Structure 1
Amino acid sequence: MNFIHRLSLAVAALFLSGCDQPAPTVLDQQLYVWQRQWTPAHEGALRESRRDFSSLRVLALQAFPGAGWSRARIDPALLKADGRPLVAVVRLDGQLKSLDQDEVIAQIQQMLGDWQAQGLAPLGVEIDHDAGNARLPAYRTFLARLRQVLPTTLQLSITALPAWLDSPELPGLLATVDSSVLQVHAVSDPRQGLFDPEQARRWAERWGDVTTRPFYLALPAYGVALLTPENGAPVVESEVPIDRGGERRELLADPQQVAGLTAKLRADPPVQLAGIIWFRLPLAGDRRAWSLTTLGAVARGDRLDSRMRLHVEERGGLYDIRLVNQGNLDSPWPQRLTLAVGACDGVDALVGYTLQQTPGVLTFTRIKEGRLAAGAQRAIGWARCTKIDQGGFNVYP
């Protein structure tokens, strides 16, 4: 057998073996819209999210101990124009001493009636209630009753906690609803981090072994700040600012970690896994959420890359120096940047960086933490120089 023939057989074998590889599972991608007060920024965010996310799960109604009931101030015209399937989410705080079933059901029915009067036709209702294991029997009774009074055309789902895996009540609870959403982020002390991909994978596999109905995985695309505790317990600041001073420790779900988990889920999904629901829809200026560019890239399984560059623009002899993120990954401000220049008679750094000038080089050093969204830019300094080399820069992470 000559060499060319042997090579042809080898290539054919590789091609055939590749054809035998199963294609990755296509997982449905949905979004939580969790803002309590809608703003004009929602219009652009919804429009840009349409490419990658099939459905919207919209915070509609909340009940908190002491504070009582409140409605999210949604924009029904935007949702109607968007046209994607909707699920109305009802948040029942886990610290409620008990659920007044009559009151909860009445509030849900009134909310659904108001949505329908505004031209919205949700496909389902999701109950978000972080009940402790000891309260699962009562929760199951409530869900069974709610299922009976809701129209049969409406799907009923629940947000679920991994801690419920230890309860013998879980199979019966899951049998009362059409689907569940397993929350695998920030489920315990946030000081331990927002997300552990290996633990999330184990929880998802165990959940698939318990439930006989489809389930979704709620994954994080956001961050929080931990404020200095006053009485031992940390205060968590998320999308709503807290009017309090003191040190803030920022925690952010790592897009690359989350992307690693989604790749494994596509390659070998747990039993009954129907899709992923991302928390939450980011708005322009939302400093504690991934950008929509990064979120979409992770949802699609694209390769992530930040590609930080310096951009210099000259105006009347004054150079504006900007940091630009040309990639699809939100990333921290670089630790250090250098720029080749000619003779300069005036230079300065802007907030977040300090500047050192040596012959032929400007060096910017980070003195403050910050992140630059994919596709975004920010000014880091200015210079009045005889020349600046547009391509003569280096970025050091």
Structure 2
Amino acid sequence: MPATSYLRRLCACLALGLLVGCRPEPAKPLDQQLYVWQRQWRPAHEQALAESRADFSTLRVLALQAQPQAGWSRALVDLSRLKADGRPVIAVVRLDGQLPALDLDVARTQIGQMLADWQAAGLNPSGLEIDHDSASARLAGYTDFLLKLREQLPPGLKLSITALPAWLDSPQLPALLRAVDSSVLQVHAVSNPRLGLFDPVQARKWAERWSHVTERPFYLALPAYGMALLPDTGGVPLVESETPLNRGGERRELLADPQQLADLGHQLRDKPPAHLAGLIWFRLPLPGDRRAWSLTTLAAVARGDALSGRWLVELSSQDGLYDISLVNVGNLDQALPPRVELSAEQCDGVDGLSGYTLQALPQHLVFNRQSSARVAAGGRRALGWARCIRIDQGAWHVYP
């Protein structure tokens, strides 16, 4: 090989190596964790935990709470089921923000006994999270509480806190964050409820500001649920979420938009703020939790999958009697459609179900929605029944 040709090839290889070496390393995947926030565990937890295992690395489990009037109470956690799940567990202690003061001695006793009971059941939490909505003016006292509490915790148990964006303006925040191993910045349901449940633009701004204050890992707590606002006689709306309130009145439903959260997740993966370690989703959904996303939608958002909702009309018939159902075959929970039409012939008996009325026209069956509801991804809803000579399985339309 001529010397000049060899040199050209050598230079080309060196240049290619330099280019490859200068490429930025791909961003680390964001850890995906899950809050388990039910105060009383049910048999349904077993399946929900099993189905969530592939997509969520760690469970943050409500374990203990203190409230101004009710005092201290344990969440009734199925410890054997939690142990069998096998994932790392962080026990969450909820200290209500309206408590007049934080009693360190009582807190230490309650938390110590809870940890001892968990360990006796063979469950060793990897961390403890304190969830306390402290007023900004009381952060110095909260910092002192955490430092003293940490001295009493078992060696190696990581301590974290749930944190509020309102603390960003406090000069005490850096000292507070140095008192713990990590923080969880809650960016949902932190403003006036009339302004909504979640604002993705504001959430990203808070995360960026938080990254400039903390020197330690932090997580974002993101919503996978909805809530309702009820009017109150004092002019301040009441919030109803996972626990129904025994109060009448019109409810204004608010729901975190999965597509908004999916878009935010893509932005955070592409350009994560400094020290952002992952995302924690609130909350593990169980059957009957009508204000939580389905686990199918939640997992799709956490993975960064493209979201799509698609309806399928299914028929089952016997001796000319048709049962008609609507199936959500996408990975996105959807509101019931306002109207569904089918091609049909000679129908002499019809009726709508599940909030739909059914009108029989000469060549069509028309279902009109009378009440709103959501159908989970993979779920189905009975539309009604009809006795007809024929219904065309392939000739149906869902509007919109």
TM-score, scaled relative to structure 2: 0.93
Aligned to 2:248: 245
Of residues 364, 367, 372 in structure 1, which corresponds to 2:370?
Answer: 367
Indicate conservation of the 8 Å contact 2:354/2:381, yes or no.
no
Q: Alpha-carbon deviation of 1:350?
A: 1.1
Contiguous gaps of at least 5 residues in structure 1 = 1-15
Q: Alpha-carbon deviation of 1:316?
A: 2.6
Counterparts in 2 of 1:193-232, with a 5 A limit? Answer: 193-232=196-235
Aligned to 1:159: 162
Indicate conservation of the 8 Å contact 1:25/1:267, yes or no.
no
Encode CA deviations 1:249-281: one digit per residue, 9 max, x unaligned. Answer: 111101011111001000000000000000000
Q: Over alpha carbons, which structure has the higher Rg?
A: 2
Question: In the alignment, does 2:338 pair up with 1:344?
Answer: no
Q: Partners of 1:103 and 1:325 in 2: how far apart?
A: 50
Q: Partners of 1:21 and 1:356 in 2: how far apart?
A: 61
Of residues 130, 134, 138 in structure 2, which corresponds to 1:135?
Answer: 138
**CA shift in 2, pair 1:22/1:358, >3 Å:** farther
Counterparts in 2 of 1:162-311, with a 5 A limit? Answer: 162-311=165-314
Q: Alpha-carbon deviation of 1:355?
A: 2.1
Q: Which amino acid aligns with 2:326?
A: L
Q: Partners of 1:34 and 1:165 in 2: how far apart?
A: 26
Encode CA deviations 1:201-260: one digit per residue, 9 max, x unaligned. Answer: 000010001100000000000111112212222111111111222111111101011111
Aligned to 1:64: 67
Q: Partners of 2:287 and 2:213 in 1: how far apart?
A: 39
Q: Partners of 1:295 and 1:261 in 2: how far apart?
A: 14
| Residue identity (%) | 67
Aligned residues: 382
Counterparts in 2 of 1:13-52, with a 5 A limit? Answer: 23-52=26-55
Q: Alpha-carbon deviation of 1:370?
A: 0.4
Q: Partners of 1:351 and 1:88 in 2: how far apart?
A: 40
What SS class does the counterpart of residue 161 from structure 2 fall into? strand
Aligned to 1:317: 320
Indicate conservation of the 8 Å contact 2:96/2:133, yes or no.
yes
Contiguous gaps of at least 5 residues in structure 2 = 1-18
**CA shift in 2, pair 1:325/1:124, >3 Å:** same
Q: Partners of 2:257 and 2:343 in 1: how far apart?
A: 33
Of residues 86, 89, 92 in structure 2, which corresponds to 1:89?
Answer: 92
Q: Partners of 2:331 and 2:26 in 1: how far apart?
A: 25
Q: Alpha-carbon deviation of 1:152?
A: 2.4
Q: Partners of 2:233 and 2:29 in 1: how far apart?
A: 46
Indicate conservation of the 8 Å contact 1:27/1:266, yes or no.
yes
Counterparts in 2 of 1:320-331, with a 5 A limit? Answer: 320-331=323-334
What SS class does the counterpart of residue 243 from structure 2 fall into? coil
What SS class does the counterpart of residue 388 from structure 1 fall into? strand
Of residues 144, 148, 155 in structure 2, which corresponds to 1:145?
Answer: 148
Q: Partners of 1:24 and 1:322 in 2: how far apart?
A: 44
Q: Partners of 2:211 and 2:156 in 1: how far apart?
A: 25
What SS class does the counterpart of residue 387 from structure 1 fall into? strand
Q: Partners of 2:283 and 2:96 in 1: how far apart?
A: 18
- Over the aligned positions, Cα root-mean-square deviation in angstroms equals 1.5
Indicate conservation of the 8 Å contact 1:160/1:183, yes or no.
yes
**CA shift in 2, pair 1:371/1:22, >3 Å:** farther
Q: Which amino acid aligns with 1:136?
A: L
Q: Alpha-carbon deviation of 1:22?
A: 5.7
After TM superposition, the runs of 4+ consecutive aligned structure 1 residues lying more than 4 A away are 19-22
Q: Alpha-carbon deviation of 1:21?
A: 7.5
Encode CA deviations 1:146-168: one digit per residue, 9 max, x unaligned. Answer: 11111221000000000000101
Q: Partners of 1:24 and 1:378 in 2: how far apart?
A: 41
Q: Alpha-carbon deviation of 1:288?
A: 0.7
Q: Which amino acid aligns with 1:50?
A: R
